[in-house]
Structure 1
Amino acid sequence: MSFHDAVVPAYLQMLNSLTGLITKAEAHCTAKKIDPSVLLGSRLFPDMLPLSKQIQFVSELATKGCARLTQSEVPSTPDTEISFAALKQRLAKTIDYVNSFKPEQFEGADTRDVTFPVGSDKSITMKGQQFLSSFSLPNLYFHATTAYDILRHNGVEIGKRDFLGTN
């Protein structure tokens, strides 16, 4: 299995899953006459980030993960989305971006140094395999799971199959 095959399908699965979850959340708001901004601003606990930010983080992790692992320019991803439609558009752009990477771009990425910021004044360097398995994917799954949990907690009728999505 190539390193590309370890990276791209995992990112795409969660991006596609979140697209489906957002679609169901939007339908839930329409059916229950809930202002979408209420759901988009929902949190599991007051000190946690809201649903919209959880989705933005998943998008950012996939985008920056691919860029860092392939030594490509890390694109800027401002967090400006305030609607389901805008979040779906962001996810669609992220899916297109992740799909644009070719297997050869990931050759040697598992042993390549990957340096990334952690906070405003510190960075960490890891080998690509460690970056993927110890940082990028765990964070991606954490934020995707938190988004799922926020939606489920707020009554959106979703289940494990919705979370797992499709590639």
Structure 2
Amino acid sequence: MSFYDAVVPAYLQMLNSLTGLLTKAEAHCAAKKIDPAVLIGSRLFPDMLPFGKQIQLVSDFAAKGCARLTHTEVPSVPDTETTFAELKQRLAKTIDFVKSFKPEQFEGADAKDVTFPAGPDRSVTLKGQQFFSSVSLPNFYFHAATAHGILRHNGVEIGKRDFLGMN
């Protein structure tokens, strides 16, 4: 299996499943007459980031992960989304960005150095494989799972199949 085949499909599966989760969350709000801003601002615990920010971070980890691994320009996207439509649009743009990468861009990327920020005044350099498997992908899945958990906690009728993008 190529490094591209390990990276791109993993990001795309979850980005697409989150798009489906947003659709279900939006329908849930409409059916229960809940202000969508309430759900978008919901957290699992007061010191955790809200649902909307979880979606933004999933988007960032996918886009920036691909860019860093291929040594292409790392996108900078302002976090301005406040509606389901805007969050879906952000995911759609991220999906298009991730789909724009070609397998040859990932050739040898697993062994190349990847430098990334690790705080306000610090950066870390890892080999591509280690960056992907120890930093980018775990953070990507953490924020995706947290977004799913926030929706489930708030009564949106979703399960593991929705998380996996099988519904």
TM-score (norm 2): 0.98
Q: Distance between the aligned counterparts of 2:79 and 2:15, measured in 1?
A: 16
The one-letter code of the counterpart of 1:112 is: K
Q: Which residue of 1 aligns with 2:107?
A: 107
Superposition misfits of 4+ residues, deviation over 4 angstroms: none
Q: Distance between the aligned counterparts of 1:84 and 1:119, measured in 2?
A: 29
Q: Distance between the aligned counterparts of 1:43 and 1:86, measured in 2?
A: 19
Q: Distance between the aligned counterparts of 1:139 and 1:36, measured in 2?
A: 26
Q: Which residue of 1 aligns with 2:23?
A: 23
Q: Distance between the aligned counterparts of 2:83 and 2:155, measured in 1?
A: 19
Q: Which residue of 1 aligns with 2:51?
A: 51
The one-letter code of the counterpart of 1:16 is: N
Q: Distance between the aligned counterparts of 1:118 and 1:60, measured in 2?
A: 14
Within 5 Å, which residues of 2 pair with 1:6-21?
6-21=6-21
CA deviation after TM superposition for structure 1 residue 118, in Å? 1.0
Q: Distance between the aligned counterparts of 2:48 and 2:68, measured in 1?
A: 27
Measured on the aligned residues, the alpha-carbon RMSD in Å equals: 0.6
Q: Which whole-Å deviations, capped at 9, do the CAs of 1:24-69 have from their partners, x for residues lacking one? A: 0000000000000000000000000000000000000000000000
CA deviation after TM superposition for structure 1 residue 145, in Å? 0.2
Q: Distance between the aligned counterparts of 1:110 and 1:119, measured in 2?
A: 23
What stretches of structure 2 of length at least 5 have no aligned partner? none
CA deviation after TM superposition for structure 1 residue 114, in Å? 0.2
Q: Which residue of 1 aligns with 2:156?
A: 156
Within 5 Å, which residues of 2 pair with 1:55-134?
55-134=55-134
Residues matched between the structures, number? 166
The one-letter code of the counterpart of 2:158 is: I
Q: Distance between the aligned counterparts of 1:78 and 1:67, measured in 2?
A: 17
The one-letter code of the counterpart of 2:147 is: A
Question: Identity of paired residues, percent?
Answer: 80
Q: Distance between the aligned counterparts of 2:99 and 2:31, measured in 1?
A: 34
Q: Distance between the aligned counterparts of 1:34 and 1:118, measured in 2?
A: 37
Q: Which whole-Å deviations, capped at 9, do the CAs of 1:79-131 have from their partners, x for residues lacking one? A: 00000000000000000000000000000000000000011100000000000
TM-score (norm 1): 0.98
